């Protein structure tokens, strides 16, 4: 019995020893693969080898393959999906529920409550706080332009027919608590125009200068059976609920119609059910690493400058005195500024004053004149600023265009995935191609916004590190893009899978490094920008 127990103990020690050696061997192999990827070697110049088996000769053992599939099946939780997606019906229900909650405290109609909540950006706590603090409820309601005691529609003026001040018809009139009356047809036409033409659900009294708002019950009553107007008013009310609520934002994707709800408002990425990822704070597509404020400045500058900057750079110069941009429309180098407050005369060639040039009207050899040199220096500084802008703008637009063009990759990738499934690979096994294109698109988008970030970034040691990371990501992205576009039809399927996975993992790792460095700079307040 003692011998048997001893044998079992030695067997278990030997078994665990073998497992430890296997794990150590696997760690060394994975470490070598990471070093290989970081060094940027070409896959064709390096043969992966872990053991002598056919499967393992492709650069990954059976155990590693199982581990990788498990990793892909259980990815970490994406913070972009940590939000609530609401459709039109749910939004309307949430809006009505909130109105009912407030109406139990503020004893006015539901339609007036909607106007009141809209005034407070649909912040129930803020509304109720102000309500409890106010000394006079009527004053509180009037501050939000809500009628404290709306008249019942249809009563007219003392129940008598009177002349409508708009169409001059003698009929029963109706109006709000402001005592501005009109006939029902005039009210209907006015409200319908506001809803269908002006696209608004916040409607003032029809009397010029009166700021009192018409509540929902009055709007629906006066628009009668006009279903188009009634439906549009309901839709606009929901739209106002979303746009005025700081915790809600419409998905910007075309024809989506859903809204995103978050627990707190900040610049963060959110993802709709239509797969559209965007910044919750500004509503633009996700633009990491540049912040919302700088992105707004950049897009405005692009819209203002990009159309004409190239032409201005090639065909104009600035007046050396008042710096107005001037186009040369004749062969004479004697220029006269047309700015009435300037009217300076100068030489087009050297930008110096014209008077010393004497009779040299068509050629200029006075390049050493100090005043002309100052003008040329100022001109060169202006041109250098323009050239700097064009440098970042052209690269921004190039990545934007590449991002659009690479959307075509999804079609070719789908064809390749279908072919691989016909060659005995499962659906889950071929998803690496789709993931590669997804990662490529994300890297293109990140690179695009790094140029907006870099344009405003001041030169520091940190900015040089940023540019090195940007360069590494750009190089890796271009290599992955080239590989996916050229080699999909020529590679062995198993070899193709290994190469694509290696490349997109490295690209994703370089993107993570760049974004992490940018985030750390924000935390340390080490980024300094030119405004």
Ramachandran region, residue 343 (left: φ > 0; alpha: ψ -120 to 50; beta: rest): left
Q: Are 238 and 88 in contact (CB under 8 A)?
A: yes
**431-456 helix and 292-315 helix, angle to the nearest 10 degrees:** 70
Neighbours of 430 (CB within 10 A): 20
Beta strand spans in 461-524 (E)? none
Backbone dihedral angles phi then psi of residue 352, each to the nearest 5 degrees? -85, 165
Per-residue three-class SS string for 186-239: HHHHHHHHHHHCCCCCCCECCCCCCCCECCHHHHHHHCCCCHHHHHHHHHHHHH
Token pair recorded at residue 174: 């109706």
Q: What is the helix (H) or strand (E) element at residue 85, kind and residue range?
A: strand 84-86
Q: Which pair of tokens denotes residue 209?
A: 């200068």
Inter-axis angle of helices 124-133 and 110-119, nearest 10: 100
Residue 188, token pair as written in the block:
């209907």
Pairwise CA distance, residues 70 & 483, whole Å: 26
The yes-or-no answer on residue 332 being catalytic is yes
Please report, in angstroms and rounded to a whole number, the separation of the first and last CA atoms in the chain.
Answer: 85
For 103, 313, 331, 455, the CA distances from 337, given in Å and listed in that order, are 68, 18, 16, 33
Q: Which of 282, 332, 347, 443 is catalytic?
A: 332
DSSP 56: G
> Is residue 459 exposed (0-12), middle (13-18) or buried (19+ Cβ within 10 Å)?
exposed
Cα R_g (the chain), whole angstroms: 35
Report the 10 Å Cβ neighbour count for 320: 23
Query: What is the crossing angle of helices 493-524 and 2-39, to 10°?
Result: 80
* Residue 403 burial (CB count, 10 A): 17
How many whole angstroms separate alpha carbon 230 and alpha carbon 119?
A: 22
| Catalytic residue list | 332
């Amino acid at each position: 019995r003692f011998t048997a127990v001893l044998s079992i103990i030695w067997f278990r020690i030997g078994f665990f020893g073998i497992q430890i050696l296997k794990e150590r061997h696997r760690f060394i192999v994975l470490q070598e693969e990471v070093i290989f990827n970081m060094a940027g070697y070409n896959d064709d110049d390096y043969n992966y080898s872990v053991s002598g088996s056919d499967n393992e000769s492709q650069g990954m053992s059976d155990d590693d393959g199982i581990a990788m599939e498990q990793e892909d099946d259980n990815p970490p939780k994406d913070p972009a999906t940590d939000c609530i997606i609401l459709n039109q019906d749910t939004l309307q229900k949430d809006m009505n529920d909130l109105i009912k909650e407030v109406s139990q405290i503020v004893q006015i109609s539901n339609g007036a409550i909607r106007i009141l909540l809209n005034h407070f950006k649909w912040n129930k706590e803020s509304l109720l706080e102000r309500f409890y603090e106010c000394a006079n409820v009527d004053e509180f309601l009037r501050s939000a332009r809500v009628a404290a005691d709306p008249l019942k529609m249809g009563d007219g003026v003392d129940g008598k027919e009177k002349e409508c001040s708009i169409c001059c018809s003698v009929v029963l009139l109706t109006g709000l608590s402001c005592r501005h009356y009109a006939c029902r047809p005039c009210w209907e036409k006015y409200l319908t125009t506001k809803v269908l033409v002006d696209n608004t659900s916040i409607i003032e009294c029809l009397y010029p200068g009166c700021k009192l708002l018409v509540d929902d019950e009055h709007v629906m009553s006066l628009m009668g059976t006009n279903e188009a107007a009634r439906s549009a008013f309901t839709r606009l009310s929901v739209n106002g609920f979303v746009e005025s609520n700081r915790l809600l934002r419409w998905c910007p994707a075309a024809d989506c119609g859903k809204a995103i709800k978050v627990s707190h408002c900040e610049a963060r990425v959110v993802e709709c059910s239509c797969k559209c990822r965007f910044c919750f704070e500004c509503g633009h597509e996700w633009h990491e690493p540049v912040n919302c404020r700088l992105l707004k400045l950049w897009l405005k500058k692009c819209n203002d400058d990009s159309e004409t900057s190239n032409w201005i750079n090639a065909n104009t110069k600035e007046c050396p005195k008042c710096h107005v941009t001037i186009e040369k429309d004749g062969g004479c180098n004697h220029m006269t500024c047309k700015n009435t407050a300037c009217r300076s005369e100068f030489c087009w060639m050297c930008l110096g004053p014209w008077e010393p040039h004497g009779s040299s009207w068509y050629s200029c050899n006075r390049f050493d004149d100090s005043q002309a040199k100052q003008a040329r220096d100022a001109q060169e500084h202006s041109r250098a600023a323009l050239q700097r802008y064009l440098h970042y703008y052209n690269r921004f637009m190039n990545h934007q265009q590449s991002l659009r063009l690479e959307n075509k990759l999804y079609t070719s990738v789908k064809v390749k995935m279908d072919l691989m499934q016909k060659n005995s690979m499962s659906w889950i096994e071929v998803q690496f191609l789709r993931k590669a294109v997804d990662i490529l698109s994300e890297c293109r988008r990140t690179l695009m916004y790094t140029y907006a970030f870099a344009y405003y970034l001041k030169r520091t040691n940190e900015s040089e590190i940023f540019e090195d990371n940007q360069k590494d990501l750009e190089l890796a992205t271009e290599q992955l893009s080239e590989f996916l576009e050229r080699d999909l039809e020529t590679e062995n399927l198993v070899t193709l899978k290994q190469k694509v996975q290696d490349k997109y993992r490295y690209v994703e790792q370089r993107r993570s490094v760049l974004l992490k460095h940018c985030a750390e700079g924000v935390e340390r307040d080490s980024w300094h920008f030119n405004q």
